[in-house]
């Protein structure tokens, strides 16, 4: 029995099917065994692997529900639309039956499924150049590692498979939760093998959006950092490994200090192929009906034109007062990141970080904003975090100061003489978390940062110490230690009730 390319087959979370259905060959489908037999078809399959990242249910630009919306930076105030399911994420009222949760879970597994199928087939294919084959294998393993990194941070123990699927029975057997340490070990293995492949140091403008050595080093450093900081394997060696790979990524940059690159230029659609801070991004095509970015127009509030020529009719993507009140006076990033919408129907702050007012994007707002998955400011702050855990505060502060200098802010030492700053961020750890919040705002990092910086009990205390008035209508009192992880979708539980235990509290 062979797996077919059938729309809707998602990862190892296979849908139950009858034998008759699986054994049939639909006239418009192609057997995997019969398709991935040439270098050209492997190339097309690799393109499809990257294409699956674009989904807003996965890690594309619109994947805000389980990242920024889940955090304290922005939140959905509408508790009625879509049966209130998006609101469950921000209100800490998430249920295993939530269909948005299920779609997200499946969308994270889809690239893994595709990577596994390609890796299972590639050794049977003859390539004109062995370097191309090596690079492709590295790219497939990099993407698989990246997706498992999303899953293990959000769901904890998750099903783990590196096999190509051949039957629903095999898929069901693999639907069993593996311990987080085992998942992290596989992520590390994939990324080390990707680094041993023929990946280029950086991709060119023509191959933008594909994996590189810089991206693999940066991701591997962040993986070691997260594994150690969250207590999965909390030992000094893992923090040292985090430092090693983050430094390797830093040493592959093509600039000297960060202030050589203006903050606004990082998000400039005209500089997406040339900006030296960018490491890895999902390309969007300006003006294209199917592959353009909607980020600028969706963020923009009624009556505003700063983001897009599109005529907005809603409130856009709103910033919490909790975020806004954490901004330091004189932070150059603030005016670029958010703005007050004076329209009587809005009268709140909305996100302005993603802009495309070009004629090519037009009044339909078909922007060209690439979605940035990794950039050097993130790597620098991650490296600072590793230094901090290793007791190397001077090195951590030097990196923090470089970020702050570009933002027009005083050094950490000077800032700590300010009573307000020192009261809000009394430790270097909290100062680093604050800087990540300001620097990487609305780039889908915040929730993962919070679950790395705090254990479940600390996370609850952090949220409950906030002022409810600054957090719109999401009840902060709802949060409990269970919210550190998302629940496993109920449909997954039903596939293998014995192997798919639920996270505590759900």
Domain boundaries, the chain: 1-199+480-506, 207-283+370-453, 284-369
**For residue 327, what is the DSSP state?**
P
Query: Strand (E) positions, 321-442?
Result: 338-341, 348-351, 371-375
In angstroms, the CA 237 to CA 224 distance is: 9
pLDDT higher than 70, residue 24 = no
> Phi, psi at residue 432, to the nearest 5°?
-70, -40
pLDDT higher than 90, residue 22 = no
In angstroms, the CA 380 to CA 453 distance is: 16
First and final C-alpha spacing in the chain: 37
Tell me the HSE value of 314 on the side-chain side, using a 13 A CA sphere: 10
Q: Identify the helix (H) or strand (E) that includes residue 90.
A: helix 85-90
| Residue 419: strand, helix, or coil | helix
pLDDT higher than 50, residue 3 = no
In angstroms, the CA 113 to CA 121 distance is: 13
In angstroms, the CA 252 to CA 430 distance is: 28
Q: Which CATH number fits domain 207-283+370-453: 1.25.40.10, 3.40.47.10, 1.25.40.390, 3.40.50.300?
A: 1.25.40.390
pLDDT higher than 60, residue 410 = yes
In angstroms, the CA 18 to CA 418 distance is: 68
In angstroms, the CA 160 to CA 151 distance is: 10
In angstroms, the CA 52 to CA 29 distance is: 19
> Phi, psi at residue 476, to the nearest 5°?
-65, -25
Phi-psi region for residue 92, left (φ > 0), alpha (ψ -120 to 50) or beta?
A: left
CA angle in degrees (0–180, nearest 5) for 171-59-57: 65
Provide the angle, in degrees to the nearest 10, between the axes of the packed helices 376-389 and 236-250: 150
| Residue 173: strand, helix, or coil | helix
pLDDT higher than 70, residue 8 = no
Return the CATH fold of 1-199+480-506.
Answer: 1.25.40
pLDDT higher than 70, residue 82 = yes
78-94: average pLDDT: 89
pLDDT of amino acid 32: 57
Domains 1-199+480-506 and 207-283+370-453 share a fold: yes
Tens-digit pLDDT profile for residues 112-125: 999 999 999 999 99
* Least confident among 73-87, 329-343, 410-424: 73-87
pLDDT higher than 50, residue 153 = yes
305 forms beta bridges with: none
Tens-digit pLDDT profile for residues 411-451: 999 999 999 999 999 999 999 999 999 999 999 999 999 99
pLDDT higher than 90, residue 161 = yes
Furthest-apart CA atoms within the chain: distance in Å: 73
pLDDT of amino acid 467: 95
pLDDT higher than 90, residue 166 = no
pLDDT of amino acid 33: 60
In angstroms, the CA 316 to CA 406 distance is: 28
């Amino acid at each position: 029995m062979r797996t077919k390319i059938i729309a809707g087959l998602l990862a190892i979370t296979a849908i139950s099917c009858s034998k008759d259905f699986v054994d049939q060959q639909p006239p418009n489908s192609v057997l995997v065994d019969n398709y991935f037999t040439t270098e050209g078809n492997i190339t097309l399959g690799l393109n499809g692997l990257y294409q699956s990242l674009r989904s807003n249910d996965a890690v594309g630009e619109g994947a805000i529900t389980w990242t920024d919306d889940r955090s304290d930076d922005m939140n959905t105030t509408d508790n009625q639309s879509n049966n209130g399911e998006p609101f469950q994420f921000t209100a800490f009222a998430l249920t295993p039956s939530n269909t948005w949760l299920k779609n997200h879970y499946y969308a994270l597994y889809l690239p893994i499924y595709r990577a596994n199928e390609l890796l299972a087939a590639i050794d049977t294919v003859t390539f004109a150049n062995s370097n191309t084959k090596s690079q492709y294998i590295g790219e497939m393993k990099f993407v698989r590692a990246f997706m498992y990194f999303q899953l293990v941070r959000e769901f904890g123990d998750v099903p783990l498979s590196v096999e190509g699927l051949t039957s629903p029975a095999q898929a069901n057997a693999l639907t069993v939760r593996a311990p987080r340490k085992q998942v992290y070990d596989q992520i590390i293995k994939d990324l080390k093998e990707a680094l041993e492949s023929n990946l280029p140091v950086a991709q060119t403008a023509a191959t933008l959006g594909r994996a590189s050595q810089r991206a693999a080093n940066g991701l591997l450093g962040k993986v070691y950092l997260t594994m150690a900081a969250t207590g999965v394997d909390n030992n000094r060696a893992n923090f040292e490994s985090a430092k090693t790979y983050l430094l390797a990524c830093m040493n592959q940059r093509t600039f000297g200090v960060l202030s050589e690159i203006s903050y606004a230029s990082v998000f400039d659609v005209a500089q997406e192929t040339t900006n030296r801070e960018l490491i890895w991004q999902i390309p969007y095509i300006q003006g294209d009906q199917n592959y353009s970015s909607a980020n600028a127009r969706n963020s923009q509030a009624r009556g505003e034109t700063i983001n897009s020529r599109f005529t907005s009719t809603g409130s856009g993507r709103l910033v919490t007062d909790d975020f806004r009140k954490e901004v330091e006076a004189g932070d150059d990033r603030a005016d670029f990141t958010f703005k007050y919408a004076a329209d009587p129907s809005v009268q709140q702050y909305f996100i302005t970080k993603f802009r495309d007012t070009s004629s090519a994007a037009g009044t339909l707002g078909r922007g060209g904003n690439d979605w940035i998955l990794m950039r050097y400011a993130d790597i620098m702050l991650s490296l600072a975090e590793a230094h901090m855990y290793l007791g190397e505060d001077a090195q951590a502060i030097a990196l923090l100061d470089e970020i702050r200098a570009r933002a027009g802010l005083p050094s950490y030492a000077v800032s700590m003489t300010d009573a307000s700053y020192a009261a809000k961020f009394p430790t270097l750890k909290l100062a680093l978390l604050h800087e990540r919040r300001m620097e990487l705002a609305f780039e889908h990092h915040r929730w993962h940062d919070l679950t790395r910086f705090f254990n479940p009990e600390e996370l609850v205390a952090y949220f409950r110490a906030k002022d409810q008035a600054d957090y719109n209508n999401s009840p902060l009192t709802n949060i409990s230690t269970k919210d550190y992880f998302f629940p496993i979708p109920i449909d997954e539980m039903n596939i293998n009730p014995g192997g798919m235990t639920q996270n505590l509290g759900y």
